[in-house]
A and B are shown apart, each in its own frame.
Chain A
Amino acid sequence: MNATANLKPRVEMRSIGKSFPGVRALSSVDFTLYPGEVHALLGENGAGKSTLIKILTGALSRDAGEIRLDGKPVSFNSTGEAQAHGISTVYQEVNLIPAMSVTKNLALGPSRGALGVISWGKARKRARGKLSRLKLNIDTEQPVGSFSVAVQQLVAIAHALDDDTSVLVLDEPTASLDAQETATLFGIVSDLKARGMAIVFITHFLDQVYEISDRISVLRNGNLVATHMASEISRQDLISEMIGRELGEVEATLAHKAETGPGKQKLVARDLGRKRTLKPFDLTLHAGEVVGLAGLLGSGRTEMTKLIFGAIRSDSGEIRVDGQDMSGATPRRSLASGIAFCPEDRKAEGLVGDLSIRENIMLSMQAKRGWLRQLPRRDQEKIAAEMIRALGIATPDAEKPVRQLSGGNQQKVVLARALASNPGILLLDEPTRGIDVGAHAEIITLIRKLCNDGMALLVASSELDEIVAASDRVAVLRDREKVGEIDGADINRDNIIRMIAGDDGGQH
């Protein structure tokens, strides 16, 4: 499938730039699509994939660059406009109305005469027709939410496919499908490809990328790393491009790793797991040791940290902290026994936007003390000031609402809150997410310092170099399962990548 050389591109995106307050989402990204090809778009969270696609489909406006459709410059102000030009999207979160029947869902769309009468007989026939083209034969009168996610995906695709659709964007379509369902989906994708449709395929399953794609583009931190023909790049090089090289400075901290062995056991998890979330795993954290958690997006890094913290309830196994049984712990109890947690999604789970910086920093400490014993204001201000200084949070004033800070500083506030509660064990999920690259080294150094002071740390990250620089031991995850650990001197990028990729080629 390499006839693309002689075809004119259907979509050309050139030098696309986009910024949000405090963060540069895309810098000068190029992306082209040819008719009849499947073009995979890869990258970790925050790499810019969603932003790029949203710009293409009209959900976001771009700050810089241009888009051409069949050679003509276009500018979409809404998803409706993009749809009218033949660009359809099927999102990762299936966007259907769960309580409504399949027929009714397929009847929804940009209104051609909103008050128009619907003949349900005709609508049913049209629905069945659309579905049969995707080889789906179901009772279209059932609510769409009653079907499996695989079927919902296909219904969503049927909805997205109009007679004049020329570009189809599939955003993580196989995230909830099993092997059989994925095969069916790929059959349909091949059909559409043969009919000349241009398809963008966003995924983090590398096997599938190689199975179905013609070309691959990799985004990282808002930049386009490279575009390759699928046949011309190896798995390991691909992974390397996705999560590899950042700053040389980071490697300098390698030298500061403590020579002394790890201290006593602080936390022991045995067979800890939860159905459909994470297969039961064993993990031990020692004082004065940093355990890195490596794996691709979707491998279960966040779920592991949350299970340990008690934010997700486990249904198997046990966990002991300083010898005490902590099974069934809540975040409150975990905090009380000295575990602190910094979530990955600081907006949804980390910060309370309207509260001040000081209040956000103080929250866990105060929760530990209970509602009655308020921490005196003066002490609060002192601790907040200390944290602001220690972490270098750029703000003239601790009383500002935290949502006014830039992304990187917000991340530091999340960290500050965890540190303020004086934990013996610290769980960090993507601690350098959204912090500008120059400050990453700061965080790594801080992690090492805390470690040397006797804390036990678990750091989940998609930044491989930082894991290598910071960790004394690395646990590797693949597809919701812990597949192994790498210790001490064996910690380096290649070994980790090899374990993630899996020597046996890995079944997804």
Chain B
Amino acid sequence: MPGRLKALAQSRAVWPLLALALILIVAGSVSPNFFEIRIVEGRLFGNLIDILYRAVPTALVALGMAVVIGTRGIDLSVGSIIAIVGAVIVWRIKMGDPHITILFSALAAGILCGMWNGFLVSALKIQPIIATLILMVAGRGIGMLINQLYGGTDPSFESALLQWMSTGSIWLIPTRLILAAGIFLALWLLIRRTALGLFIESVGGNAAASNLAGVKAGLIIFVAYVLSGLLSAWAGVIMTADTHTSDPVSVALYIELDAILAVVIGGGSLAGGRIYLGMTVIGALVIQALTTATLISGLPPEYNLIIKALVVLSVLFLQSANARRAIGSLVLRRSP
């Protein structure tokens, strides 16, 4: 039995799931009706559903971030990509495009942004944190520009398709959850049912060895950033649908930090290598559950940030052998 317990403790899946369970239990103990689920207007409602619901944009961005981090990179521009996508959506709506075209335009905008990032990192060989910083700085400005040129003075809109995506539901389940599940499935198939996942993990783990083994590292890295752009675009579609407007200045502020956090909680290492798609989603759920639990428990929402900070550090300490050793030697006064 102890052997099994040890293996469980070392399994990557344990910690994020444990954290999630812990948060939910604490929330449940503070608020008696926490786990209640009702059906209102043909749709499921309840705190648990709410957590899933609100976590979708972050989870989508986090999935793209997980892929990029797998190649030993990072994408700081995801928030700005969402800003651009929002502006593009309003633009195409005002131009009277049919629904499907609007959707494709939004996704195309995200893919273009991803290609730009990918070009900087794999062709110009610029460090990822620096390369994506450029779009991060300029992106919201681009979004604002598009708004000014095409959105008119009022960048808000009405769109049946987007409304449905945002608040609609299919058979009781909110549309966005089904959408997110579909996207997750597609990504999972792409990463796990083709060799792409293997190549990404290989390139992130050891790019030189991968090249010698015949893997085209440059191309793989490029594709990773395009995927991140695409997934951010999906998140942008949903977030824009939620607010009925394009607000490049403040939409998705800090989402890149939440996304990186979700990936790290899910077990991914910033140094590249293994991708944990499922656990990344759990990581996003943990972050959202934290926020919801903080709200429910009556604590002022500002505490959320501090708790997040503590979660970051705790996760790192647990995952970093160095840190564990450091604490161990400090506590036990053993010579290192």
Does a CB–CB distance below 8 Å link A and B in the complex?
A: yes
Instruction: Give chain B nearest CB distance to A28 CB in angstroms.
Output: 26
A372 touches B194 (CB 8 A): yes
Interface residue from B194, B196, B209, B214 paired with A348 (Cβ < 8 Å): B209
Interface residue from A354, A369, A417 paired with B213 (Cβ < 8 Å): A417
Instruction: Give chain A nearest CB distance to B335 CB in angstroms.
Output: 10
Whether a CB of chain A sits under 8 angstroms from the CB of B274 is yes
Which of chain A's residues have a CB closer than 8 A to the CB of B210?
Answer: 352, 363
Interface residues in A360-391 by Cβ distance below 8 A to B read 362-364, 366-375
- Cβ proximity bits A398-437 to B, threshold 8 Å, 1 near / 0 not: 0000000000000000000100000000000000000000
B214 touches A368 (CB 8 A): yes
Whether a CB of chain B sits under 8 angstroms from the CB of A491 is no
Whether a CB of chain A sits under 8 angstroms from the CB of B325 is no
B212 touches A349 (CB 8 A): yes
A311 touches B212 (CB 8 A): yes
Instruction: Give chain A nearest CB distance to B306 CB in angstroms.
Output: 33
Instruction: Give chain B nearest CB distance to A352 CB in angstroms.
Output: 4
A351 to B193, CA, bound (A): 23
Which of chain B's residues have a CB closer than 8 A to the CB of A472?
Answer: none
- Cβ proximity bits B189-214 to A, threshold 8 Å, 1 near / 0 not: 00001111011011001101111111
A353 touches B206 (CB 8 A): yes
Interface residue from B195, B196, B213 paired with A331 (Cβ < 8 Å): B213
A353 touches B205 (CB 8 A): yes
B214 touches A371 (CB 8 A): no
Whether a CB of chain B sits under 8 angstroms from the CB of A335 is yes
A351 to B202, CA, bound (A): 9
Instruction: Give chain A nearest CB distance to B225 CB in angstroms.
Output: 16
> Who on chain B is nearest to A311 by CB?
B212
Interface residue from A331, A336, A343, A352 paired with B202 (Cβ < 8 Å): A352
- Cβ proximity bits B295-315 to A, threshold 8 Å, 1 near / 0 not: 000000000000000000000
A364 to B209, CA, bound (A): 10
A332 to B213, CA, bound (A): 7
Which of chain B's residues have a CB closer than 8 A to the CB of A363?
Answer: 198, 202, 210, 213-215
Interface residue from A335, A348, A373, A417 paired with B208 (Cβ < 8 Å): A348
A351 touches B195 (CB 8 A): no
> Who on chain B is nearest to A368 by CB?
B214
B212 touches A331 (CB 8 A): yes
Interface residues in B250-278 by Cβ distance below 8 A to A read 273-274
Whether a CB of chain B sits under 8 angstroms from the CB of A486 is no
Whether a CB of chain A sits under 8 angstroms from the CB of B216 is yes
> Who on chain B is nearest to A403 by CB?
B205
Whether a CB of chain B sits under 8 angstroms from the CB of A359 is yes
> Who on chain A is nearest to B210 by CB?
A352
A99 to B211, CA, bound (A): 30
> Who on chain B is nearest to A346 by CB?
B209
Interface residues in B11-37 by Cβ distance below 8 A to A read none
Instruction: Give chain A nearest CB distance to B273 CB in angstroms.
Output: 4
Instruction: Give chain B nearest CB distance to A185 CB in angstroms.
Output: 32
Q: Size range of the interface on B? A: 20 to 34
B205 touches A352 (CB 8 A): yes
Which of chain A's residues have a CB closer than 8 A to the CB of B274?
Answer: 354
The interface centre, meaning the residue of A335, A352, A369 with most chain B CB atoms within 10 A of its CB, is: A352
A341 to B274, CA, bound (A): 25
Interface residue from B194, B202, B205, B214 paired with A335 (Cβ < 8 Å): B214
Interface residue from B196, B201, B216 paired with A355 (Cβ < 8 Å): B201
Instruction: Give chain A nearest CB distance to B336 CB in angstroms.
Output: 10
Whether a CB of chain B sits under 8 angstroms from the CB of A350 is yes
B212 touches A369 (CB 8 A): no
Which of chain A's residues have a CB closer than 8 A to the CB of B208?
Answer: 348-349
B202 touches A355 (CB 8 A): yes
A352 to B199, CA, bound (A): 11
Which of chain B's residues have a CB closer than 8 A to the CB of A355?
Answer: 198, 201-202, 205
A349 to B194, CA, bound (A): 24
A332 to B211, CA, bound (A): 8
A375 to B195, CA, bound (A): 8
> Who on chain A is nearest to B190 by CB?
A371
> Who on chain B is nearest to A359 by CB?
B198
Instruction: Give chain A nearest CB distance to B263 CB in angstroms.
Output: 16
Taking A332-B215, A352-B201, A363-B215 as known contacts, 19 extra A-B pairs with beta carbons closer than 8 A to each other, sorted by chain A number, are A331-B211, A336-B214, A343-B209, A350-B209, A350-B212, A352-B206, A354-B201, A354-B205, A355-B198, A355-B205, A359-B198, A359-B201, A362-B198, A363-B198, A363-B202, A364-B214, A367-B215, A372-B194, A374-B193
Q: B: which residues have CB within 8 A of A?
A: 193-196, 198-199, 201-202, 205-206, 208-216, 273-274
Q: 8 A-B contacts, Cβ less than 8 Å apart? A: A331-B214, A335-B213, A349-B208, A352-B209, A354-B274, A355-B205, A363-B213, A363-B214
Q: Which 10 A-B pairs have the closest CB atoms?
A: A367-B214, A352-B205, A335-B214, A354-B273, A352-B206, A363-B213, A332-B214, A371-B195, A364-B213, A354-B205
Q: A: which residues have CB within 8 A of B?
A: 309, 311, 331-332, 335-336, 341, 343, 348-355, 359, 362-364, 366-375, 417
